[in-house]
Chains A and B, each alone.
Chain A
Amino acid sequence: MKTFKIGGIHPEENKLAKEEAIEVFPIPKQVTLFVTQHLGAPSTPIVQAGDKVKVGQLVATAQTLVCANLHSPVSGTVVKVEPVPDMTGYRKLAITIDVEDDIWEETIDTTSEIRKEITLTKPEIIERIKACGVVGLGGACFPTHVKYMVPPEKKVDYIIVNGAECEPYITTDHRIMLENGEECLIGVQALLIASGAPEARIGIEANKPDAFEHLQRLASQYPNIKVFKLKTKYPQGAEKQLIKSLTGREVPNGKLPIEVGCIVNNITTTYAIYEAVQKNKPLIETYTTISGKRAKTLKNYKIRLGTSISEVLSTVGIPENTGKIVSGGPMMGKAIANINSYFVKGMSSLLFIDESESKRGVVEECIRCGKCVTACPMGLEPYLLYALATRADYEECEKHGIMNCIECGSCQYGCPAFRPLLDMIRVGKNKTGYMIRTRNK
C-alpha cells in the first residue's frame, strides 16, 4: 500500500452514501448558468435573451487560455443574461434558460453503448476536451485542456489518476468507479494518447476495496494502466501528495506536476473526458453527494448544471438542527451562504453539518503542542505562519514557505486550542502573493 510521507491526518471517514447508486436528478424548469464555473477568466456568453438552445449547445466561449467553454445543459429559451448572486452571495454574470423538452444536439452520441476504440489523434483529443468545456472535477475546476498543453521540452512519464477521494463524506468518485469504471479507463487511454505518456497510474484509497478491485480487474486488459491501493490518509488526493504516493517523485516547491513528468486528473474527470472524446458530449452535469450525519436521505445525484440548489434541498429535505451546508468536502469545501444559487461544474457534494459541529470552539492560547506541524503535509509550521500573518510580516511569511500551503486544513482540524490557523494563513498567502507579484513587476 502506497502513501505520502510527510504529515497527514485521518478524520472520521463518514462515507455514508457509498452504497447509493447514482440517480439522475429530474431536469428542472429553469436553469441558471454562471459564466465562471472554473478556475481562471470568466467565459463570454454568445447567446442573448430569446435565443433557442439545445442540450449541449455552446452558450459561452473561452476567450483566454485558462478558461473553459460552457454549454447549455437543457433545451429551451434563454430568458436573460444578467448577474445573479452565487452561493457565496456575490453577483456573477449568468445565463438563465427556461426549459422546454429535452432536445439534444445531433452531434452528441446519446446512446448508452460503450465506445472503446479511440479514433481521434493527439491534437484532436486535446481540442475536443477544450471544446467540451471539461474542467477538473476534484474540486479546483481547473480547465483540463491546459494541463495537456505541455511545453515541447517537457516529457510526460505518468498520467496520474486521482481515485483517492480522501475527503470525508463524498462518494461520487467511488460510485463513478463502480458504475462507470470501464468508461473511465477509456478516458485514461485518451489522456495517454493526448500526453504521449507511456503509463497511467490510478490511486484509490484502501477504504474503497470494491472500487479498487473493480478497476484493477478492468485495467488488466490495458498493459499501460496500473491501479494502486493507497493508505486512507488525508490529503491523499492532493495533487503533490498523490504524485509522491504513486511515483515517489516530489514536485519542487512553486512548480507544477509537469516538472516531474506527471499530469494529474480526477477519476470523474476521466469519465467526462471519455464522454467528450468518444461521445462528443460536453460537460453539462455534476455528480453530487448529498450527505451528513443526520441527512434525511443519502444520495449520489447526477444533476444538470444550473439546477437550483434550493430545489435539490427541498427534494432531499434539510435535516433538523442543520447549522451549516457545505458544498464540497468538509475539509476543503465552501460553506454555502446563499442557498438560492445554482449548481456549477465540480460541485461534488452538499453536506449538512449539525448545529453543534458547525460552530467553532473558543479560541485559546497556543500551547505549542506541534500537532499542526506534524499534520502539515507540506512540512510547514502553521502556528508560525499564523503568528507571522497576524503580525503582517509577509517577508517572513514568504521565507517560511507560506506560498507552499495547499490549504488542506489539516492543521486547523487538529488544533486543540481551536485556533483559526488556516483562516489567517489564507490571508497571509493572499497578501504575500500580492507582495511577490508587485515585486516582480
Chain B
Amino acid sequence: MNCPLDTRENTQLLLDYCTRKLEPDSVAILERHIAICAACRELARGQRAVWHALDAWEAAPVSADFDSRLYRRIEAQVPWWTLVVRPFRPPFRTVTLWRSLPALAMACLLVVAGVVLERPAGAPAPAATDRAQVDSVQPEQVEHALDAMEMLNEFSRHVRTDSPDSKL
C-alpha cells in the first residue's frame, strides 16, 4: 500500500477511517499500514483530534416560538388581493367600466381561486372524508390521542430544551 500522504485518494481513505466510514476489510489493511508508517499515524492522530474538537461544538436549542413564527409568516404570506388586483390597476383607472369588466371578472375568479388555493392549512375546507371521520369518532380514540400527545409532549420537553412546557 502506498503512503496515504502521497496521494489525495489515500488521504481520503484515512479520513473515512477516522470518521468510521471505512469497510472493516479496509480498516484492517489501513491499521496494518498505520502501525508501520509514522507519517500516516500522525495524520490519523491529527484527524481524530479535529473530529473530537468539532464534536464539542453543539448548537444552541431552537427557539420555542420557532413554529408559531413560521406559521404566522405562512398565513401572512397570502397577499392574494395584492397579487390579483395589482395587474388590473391601470385598466381600472384608464378604461371605461365596460372595457374593464372582463378583467374584473378575471380578478374575481382569481380571488376565488386564490382563496381556495392559498387557504391556510389551519382552516381546511371540510372534505367529505373528514366528515365521515368526524361522524365515526369514538371517545376511547379521543382519550388515547390525548394520552399519546401528553406522553409525546413530556418526552419532547425532556429531550429538547427548546420545547415549551405545554399546559396540556
Q: Do A and B bind each other?
A: no
Interface, chain A (partner B; CB < 8 A): none
Interface, chain B (partner A; CB < 8 A): none
